[in-house]
Structure formats: C-alpha cells, structure tokens
Amino acid sequence: MIRLVYNECIKLAYRVGTWVMVGILILGVITMFIFDYKTKADSEISEEVWKTNLQEEIKQYQEYLDEFGSDHIIESFIRENEYRIENDLPPTDALPTSVWTFISGNQNLILLVGVFVIVVSATIISTEFKQGTIKLLLIRPPSRLAILVSKYITVILYSLFLLSILFISSFILGSIFFGFEEKYSNVILLNGELYEQSPIISLIITYLSNSINFVMLVTLAFAISSIFRSDTIAIALSLIGYIMGATATGILTIFYDWPKYILFTNTNLSQYFSSTGPPVEGMTIGFSIVILVIYWVLFLGIAAILFQKKEIKTG
C-alpha cells in the first residue's frame, strides 16, 4: 500500500495543475498580506470606542430577542460582548493587524483549498481512464480496492499539504511584518461557561476541523465520480454541495431540528469551540462525529463497490 501511495504522489507531483494550485494559493496569501499591510496594520481602536460599540451591539441583540424570542446564538453574542467589556478584551476588529488576525483572516482561503481538493479527487481516477493508463494499473497484482484506497489517501495528503502551505506561509508573513499582538484572545462558550482561548489553539482547532471537512469532500467527490463516471459532474455536484450546502442547511436549522442529520451541518467541528456553538441546540461534538463516520462509510462504500464494477473503457 505504501508503494502504491508513493507512486500516486509521484504522478500527482508531475501534473502541472498540482503546482498551479499551490502557486494560486500562495498568491492568494500574498494578496491578503498586501491588502492588510496597506489598510489594516495601524487600525487599532481605543478602549472607549470599542466598548461603546459592543454595548450598542448588546442593545441591538436584546431588542432582537425582545421581538423574536429566545435565540441561543444571539444570547451567546450578548454574553461574549459582556465578557469582553468586563475583562478588557478588545474584539479582533479593534486590534491592529497581527500574525493571529492575519492567519485568522486567511481562513477565507480555505474555501479555495476545498475547491482544489474537489478537482483533484474527482479527476485522479478519471484521468487514468482518459489516458488509458488504468489498464497498466489493473494488470498488476494490487486489487482495485487497493488502487482506489491509494488514490484516496493521496488526495487526503495533498489536501493536508495545501492546508500546511496556507498556514505556514500566513504565519511567516504575519510574524515578520505584523508581529504578535498580546491582547488578541478568542472567547468561547463551553458547557454554559465562557473561556478565553489562546490564538494558536483557536487557529489549530480551525485548521484541524477543516482537515476533517476535506476528508468528507474527498470521499463525496469519489462517490459521485464513481456513480456518474464523469469528473465534470463530480466536480460540479461536489462544488455545489461544498459552497451551498452549509448555507442551505444553516437556513433550515433556523426553522427545523432535523437538518442536524445532514452532512454539511456537522462538517465544521470548530463550531463546538466557539461562543456561538452548533446551529441546533442539543448537538454535541460526539453526535457530529458519529454522523460524519456514517456518511464517510456510506460514501467510501459506494465508491469502492462501483469502482470495482466499473468497465474498463479508456479514451
């Protein structure tokens, strides 16, 4: 298996698109750096101003609750603002840009990484069929299942590689040009109590959570590719699910509880380490992990069954 994964990594490394994606990601980090350096580096807000702003937000949130009733997310915002005021912890937007705010802001680029991961996972098998090299793989001793798993592991490793590039490049640029802001602190709500979370722990949790998200994306793209035997359909459907899934389920959770069983409601495990918490009351990190495992087994099982039955038609 190790040899198969190594061979797949070598083949992926020889694809021009692999490094084009890396280049685009680094260019995105540099673009974000230039924007922050030109506009935000000295944007610190005085204590009096940011506390007044938070008090105004609390007032608006309270008016919302008075009009529409209880809402645990809005209530968590109120508690977080009150905690920051009482403990002299300015919100992120009241601080000058630091390595922590820079890395946190670059989380938007994780969406780009997700798109790249979907493209690679949807084409890593279909490319073999189009180029006719799939026959060379299947005449060798390793089973079809072993070949599929090796390609699956390769895409997972590539997604972790891209995440590492994003984090490391953001950290290097941010630490050199922006420095470390001591006042930066993330406030989270756990078991009904508010806690201060160090910036590095908060960012590590976010990136690890997205690693799990990419595992599900890869598995979904594999399953769709196996069902429709088309990388175009696999990419399109996976992208729609990735971009629109969380938004759609987020809207549904406002009115119903059953969306908590949908995949996209559970992929972001970092929601359990934030002040807002999960979108549906009663959800726990254990519940989400169980749901993710069920979907993972389902998707990978479909991909494995259909890949083993797939007719070898090249070109």
Q: Is 188 helix (H, G, I), strand (E, B) or coil?
A: strand
| Coil vs helix vs strand at 97 | coil
Please report whether residue 295 resides in a domain.
yes
Report which secondary-structure segment, H or E, holds 12.
helix 2-13
Q: Quote the pLDDT of residue 172.
A: 92
28 lies in some domain: yes
251 found inside a domain: yes
- Please state, in angstroms and rounded to a whole number, the distance separating the CA atoms of residues 60 and 184: 25
What is this structure's pTM?
0.79
Predicted pLDDT at 99: 86
- The pLDDT score that the predictor gives to residue 191 is 67
Assigned domain for 145 exists: yes
Residue 83 is assigned to a structural domain of this protein: no
Backbone angles phi, psi at 152, to 5 degrees: -60, -50
| Residues of the domain holding 131 | 2-44+95-309
What contacts 206, CB < 8 A, 6 or more positions away? 104, 107, 270
Whether residue 66 is contained in a domain is answered as no
pLDDT score, position 303? 83
* Phi, psi (deg, nearest 5) at residue 193: -120, 145
Query: How many domains are there within the chain?
Result: 1
DSSP state of 310: -
Q: Which two tokens stand for residue 68?
A: 């529409």
Residue ranges for the chain with pLDDT beneath 50: 314-315
pLDDT on residue 253:
82
Task: Give the C-alpha separation, 274 to 262, whole Å.
Answer: 21
Look up residue 269 and give its two tokens. 């495990």
Q: Are the C-beta atoms of residues 211 and 163 closer than 8 Å to each other?
A: yes
CB 217 within 8 A of CB 209: no
Of 222, 216, 221, whose CA–CA distance to 303 is shortest? 222
Residue 90 included in any domain:
no
Strand partners, 195: 188
Would the CA dihedral through 157, 158, 161, 167 be positive or negative?
Answer: negative
Residue 188 included in any domain: yes
Return the pLDDT at 271. Answer: 79
pLDDT at 2: 81
Helix axes 110-123, 144-177, angle to 10 degrees: 160
How does pLDDT run across 189-210, given as a tens digit for each residue? 766 677 777 778 888 887 888 7
